[in-house]
Amino acid sequence: MSKKIVVLAGDGVGPEVTGEAVRVLKAVSTSHKVGLEFEDALIGGAAYDAAGSPLPDATVAACKASVGILLGAVGGPKWADIPVQHRPEQGLLAIRKALGLFANLRPVTTVPELAAASPLKPEKLKGVDILVIRELTGGIYFGKRGRTAEAAFDTCEYTTAEIERVCRVAGKLAMARRRKVTSVDKANVLDTSRLWRDVATRVFREEFPQLTVEHLLVDAAAMHLLSRPADFDVMVTENMFGDILTDEASMLAGSMGLLPSASLGAGNGPGLYEPIHGSAPDIAGQGVANPCGTILSAAMLLRYSCGAEDAARRIEAAVAGALQAGARTRDIAAPGARDWLGTKAFTDVVLRHLGAH
């Protein structure tokens, strides 16, 4: 039986990077007999332009009927001045919410060959292997908000149940890794964070007693990510802290363009897979975007939504192989280097490492 994948290319560099990731998925689908089938649907500014909404009903219906969704990026200066509810970003937030995708997995690893692309010293980067679990459907992103001419407000709310379920995801994943969890909050200031810390403490103590648990305030966590990145295993945190910390953590790997993500809900519904980078309007259409984050997101799609672990590992090994062999996109090339590859040419190298090209 074939498995339907919905591709939401979106805006900016989105179509370029999803196009390349789909080439990789097609190759692996054939070689590993995964039986994928692809359908395009609209999201973000592209959807607003074509259908008057950043998340048309037809897109939600297609996503709900799929096994997994591969998303590029949304947003851009073209839509900066349209009413808030029509902004491209609202389409992304709304699809996460509509599918109940509360756990956003953002792995951050380093490869020695890319050490020069990171601003950190190479000795700090050795052995970095972090899995950030970002809560994705609560907090200040979804709270009541308002604006008048002279004032504005956003509110952050969390329930015990929302914190419990994301901590359980973190606990389960940590048990299959190095058995360490760092929960990040701002419990010295925020009530939502005090609830977060209480619930996290209880869930890990009662349900995952084998784990080593650490609690960090978010400001300290931002610093520790740079001073001792290799100490972290699984990190779990609320929506906005996770957004900020993962952009920071991407510089351990060397570039925003390298990091994938998986957004998962409860039960067997479709997961959504997207690079953590944005639409990068400054380089859109030039064919120079780094496709690694999206290709590695496609690997996560195979792992978490298709049960195709072998195929997922194959893709991850091919990306690592391409990087180890010296293939570079512009964002991770040595300063002044001229031999970097465009989005498509880099993917050709990945495909060769897959043995499919």
Q: Which of residues 222-251 bind ligand IPM (CB under 6 A)?
A: 243
Tell me, letter by letter, the H, E, C secondary structure of the chain.
Answer: CCEEEEEEEECCCHHHHHHHHHHHHHHHHHHCCCCEEEEECCCHHHHHHHHCCCCCHHHHHHHHCCCEEEEEECCCHHHCCCCHHHCHHHHHHHHHHHCCCCEEEEEEECCHHHHHHCCCCHHHHCCCEEEEEEECCCHHHCCCEEECCCCEEECCCCCHHHHHHHHHHHHHHHHCCCCEEEEEECCCCCHHHHHHHHHHHHHHHHHCCCCEEEEEEHHHHHHHHHHCHHHCCEEEECHHHHHHHHHHHHHHHCCHHHCCCEEECCCCCCEEECCCCCCCCCCCCCCCCCCHHHHHHHHHHHHHHCCCHHHHHHHHHHHHHHHHCCCCCHHHCCCCCCCCCCHHHHHHHHHHHHCCC
Residue whose CB is less far from ligand IPM, 41 or 203: 41
Which lies closer to Mg ion via its Cβ, residue 193 or residue 261? 261
Q: Among 105, 276, 322, 350, indicate the residue that binds ligand IPM (CB under 6 A).
A: 276
Whether 141 is a known active-site residue: answer: yes
| Binding at 133: pick from Mg ion, ligand IPM, none (beta carbon under 5-8 Å per type) | none
For residue 154, state whether it binds ligand IPM (rule: CB under 6 A): no
185 contributes a contact to Mg ion by CB under 5 A: no
Residue closer to ligand IPM, measured from CB, 8 or 203 = 8
Does the annotation count 186 as an active-site position?
Answer: yes
Q: Whole-number minimum distance, CB 313 to ligand IPM, in Å? A: 25
Q: Does 243 bind Mg ion (CB under 5 A)?
A: yes
CB 23 to ligand IPM: min, Å: 23
| Shortest distance in whole angstroms from residue 228 CB to ligand IPM | 24
Asked if residues 5 and 39 have their Cβ atoms less than 8 Å apart, the reply is yes
Query: Of residues 185, 233, 243, 331, which has the active-site annotation?
Result: 243
**For ligand IPM, the closer CB: 44 or 229:** 44
Nearest-approach distance from CB 132 to ligand IPM, in angstroms: 11
Is 243 annotated as catalytic?
Answer: yes
Distance from C-alpha of 74 to C-alpha of 240, rounded to nearest angstrom: 18
Whether 121 is a known active-site residue: answer no
In 10 A of CB 61, how many CB atoms?
Answer: 12
Pair of tokens at residue 90? 């609202």
Residues 64-93 that bind ligand IPM (CB under 6 A): 74-75, 89, 92
Active-site residue, selected from the candidate residues 219, 282, 310, 344: 219
Chosen from Mg ion, ligand IPM, none, partner binding at 92 (C-beta under 5 to 8 Å by type): ligand IPM
Q: Is 172 a catalytic residue?
A: no
* Residue whose CB is nearest to ligand IPM in the complex, by number: 89
User: Catalytic residue among 48, 186, 304, 331, which?
Assistant: 186
Binding site for Mg ion (CB under 5 A): 243
Active site residues: 141, 186, 219, 243, 247
Binding site for ligand IPM (CB under 6 A): 74-75, 89, 92, 243, 276, 278
